[in-house]
Structure 1
Amino acid sequence: MKSFVQQSGLFARVLPSSRHYKKSFVVVALLLLLSGCAGKLAYNNADFIISWYLSDYIEFTPKQEPIVKAKIDSWLAWHRSTQMPQYLNQLTRLKQQIEGGTITAEELRKHSDQVDTYWSTVREYIATDVSDFAMTLDISQMSQLFVTLADKREENIVDFKKRTKKQPKRAERLIENFAERLGYVTDEQRQIVNTYAAQLHSTYDMWMTHNANVQAEFRRILIAKDFIPDSAQQLETLMLNTDAMRSANYSKARNENKQLYINMLSDMFPTLEPTQRKNLIAEIDTYIDLVQDIIAN
């Protein structure tokens, strides 16, 4: 469940997370799924996975450990009972639309907006708990957190450079993603991807700047928490309003990219061959089965 905590270590997906709108049918089919967990086993052991991942950022005291575990257990129980059924309904609706050939740009926009709502719902649910717990961190824990965040930021930059060096053209990466979901990509579909890829904005640098700004504000609040009476509220407000900290250029580029991805998918769906459609539906069925198992257990 790495993506559940990746951006700030402590903050799950509370701090900015999605660098790009995902570039495949699966994202339209809920990039959402399990907040990044790979399967039922991972989800059912998410309390351990999250705690283990958080330990990279903060060494919890014996007093803090049971508090963290109780909060994570509470979050996951809520997520399983209230959020997973929504994911299941959306996946089922998406499958029906693909089978019936009724998927449109408007429907894709609804799916994308719904995914955004899921992230916001999780963020809102855990924000108070996270901000209250953050107030209990001591100076050594905060130092560890800040250093690790800086290290992870550098790792992210290095990884991004490696990926783009290996596959420098955005269109190539998109085509590979489609091929993984559909089994193969036709020449006509390649042309569609190439056309839209040429119009997409590069937002990586803007995302990194935004992420750095949010982390700087987070650091400012934490460092001064013992001297500011409303520091917990400030931190909660930050977690709930990180989107508002995006620059105008970044917000514009994100919105335009989102619409381009939606248009690209809308143009791709009518070109799907029977085998491709079958492969895509089979993948969605895999996710449906997974969510059903998680809800049942």
Structure 2
Amino acid sequence: MKNLVKLALVVGLAAVLAGCGVRSAYNNLDWLIMRWINNQVSLDSEQELAVRTALDEKLLWHCSSQLPQYVTFLRGVEKDVEADAIDVDALRRHGEQIAAFGRELGLRARPDVIAFLASLDDEQVASLRESFDERNEEIVAESIEVTAAERQANQVRGMERGMRRFAGRPSAVQRERLEQWASELKPTAETSLEQRLAWQSEFFELLDLRSDNGTFESRMAVLLEPGATWSAEFREKMEYNRERTLEAIADIHALSTPRQQRRLLSRLDSLASDFERLSCSG
């Protein structure tokens, strides 16, 4: 439930980037987001109106303020690809920019998220807890109750899907590098679940205080900060894995065929052009 509207927007944007028509998916973000929210908790009419109003405001802001920045960002990535300047430093810089976009989205959504959470009744909180528990069970099945080999294979498949989406099928040597990358990662599934459960425990404790507006708002704002409850051990593992991932992506890009590079440039150009058309800044 961290940043409900932020997460919902990300769900919609993920649908955009996953292969749906960009313009079609973006223009239906309000529907996608409301559907996602209603899968988490049933809203009464007053809550639905408040959420729709907040969504309209945030989507207008996103369309006018954020999409032009996405276009500039994608054009910058294009230039780096064309200049053969995709190395670890460039990838880190681009990753930090993407994270900044996410933080800005989260900050913009946070007041509405907190107001929405404060409006929940006991039955809705119980429903939300059930949704969390169901997802926790899925995570255990997908990430915990698997062997190390299965986990590594899943990680390779996940990276392959992303590569195919933007650059096409990986070559044999690129897949070898992916397998090396997966073998180098520090395992985080168990620690990640522990962090998730700790965050959820504090989240529901705070929901019990939602009638105390001042305390609830200030403490929930802190909890909604990304990584607010991460332990030092988990943070170190995540940073280590991030660096290994950047190195692997840089190596895989260096192994790209001319066809893969052309496809990547075409995909970046297509996304930038679609976001440019969707922008309502002008």
**Under TM normalisation by the shorter chain, which class is it?**
0.7 to 0.9
Matching of residue 158 in structure 1 with residue 128 in structure 2: no
Query: Which of residues 119, 143, 146 is equivalent to 2:102?
Result: 119
CA separation in 1, counterparts of 2:28 and 2:276? 17
Query: Post-superposition shift, 1:159?
Result: 4.3
Deviation at 1:162, TM superposition (A): 9.2
Q: Does 1:80 align with 2:68?
A: no
The answer to whether 1:225 aligns with 2:210 is yes
The 8 Å contact of residues 88 and 247 in structure 2, kept in 1 or not, is answered as yes
Provide the C-alpha distance between the structure 2 equivalents of 1:56 and 1:10, rounded to a whole number of angstroms. 16
In the alignment, does 2:274 pair up with 1:294? no
Distance across 2 between alignment mates of 1:14 and 1:46: 12
Residue 224 of structure 1 deviates from its aligned partner by: 2.3
More helix by share: 2
Q: Does 1:139 align with 2:122?
A: yes
User: Cα RMSD between the aligned structures?
Assistant: 2.7
> Which runs of structure 2 are paired with 1:28-47 in the superposition (5 Å)?
35-38=13-16, 39-47=22-30
Question: Identity of counterpart residues, as a percentage?
Answer: 20
Where does the alignment leave 5 or more consecutive residues of structure 1 unmatched? Answer: 1-7, 16-31
Amino acid paired to 1:190: R
Measured against aligned partners, the alpha-carbon deviations of 1:258-295 in whole angstroms (never above 9, x if no partner) come to 11111112222232221111121122122122212221
Q: Secondary structure at the match of 1:244?
A: coil
Q: Give the distance between the partners of 1:163 and 1:285, measured in 2 at CA.
A: 39
The equivalent residue for 1:109 is 92
- Runs (4+) of structure 1 moved beyond 6 Å? 161-167
Q: 2:19 maps to which residue?
A: none
Q: What is the TM-score of this pair, normalised by structure 1? A: 0.82
CA distance, structure 2, for counterparts of residue 193 and residue 118 of structure 1: 27
**Counterparts in 2 of 1:1-297, with a 5 A limit?**
8=1, 11-13=4-6, 35-38=13-16, 39-160=22-143, 169=153, 170-171=155-156, 173-175=158-160, 177-227=162-212, 229-240=214-225, 242-296=226-280
Letter in 1 for 2:276: Q
Structure 1 residues 211 and 12, CA gap change in structure 2 (3 angstroms):
farther
CA contact (8 A) 2:71 2:272 kept: yes
Amino acid at match of 1:37: A
Tell me the CA shift for residue 212 of structure 1: 1.5
Alpha-carbon deviations, 1:140-191, whole Å to 9, x = none? 1111111122112223333447998977524455345434533233343233
- In 1, Cα distance between equivalents of 2:171 and 2:126: 52
The 1:198–1:55 alpha-carbon spacing in structure 2 relative to 1, beyond 3 Å, is same
1:196-226 Cα distance to aligned partner (Å, 9 max, x none): 3221122222222212111111100111222
Asked whether the 8 Å contact 2:71–2:273 carries over to 1, the reply is: no
Distance 1:61 1:175, change over 3 A: closer
* SS class of match (1:231): helix
SS of the equivalent of 2:40 reads coil
**Per the alignment, in what secondary structure is the counterpart of residue 289 of structure 1?**
helix
Query: TM-score, with normalisation over the residues of structure 2?
Result: 0.86
Unaligned residue ranges in structure 2 (runs of 5+) = 17-21
Q: Distance in 2 between matches of 1:95 and 1:135?
A: 43
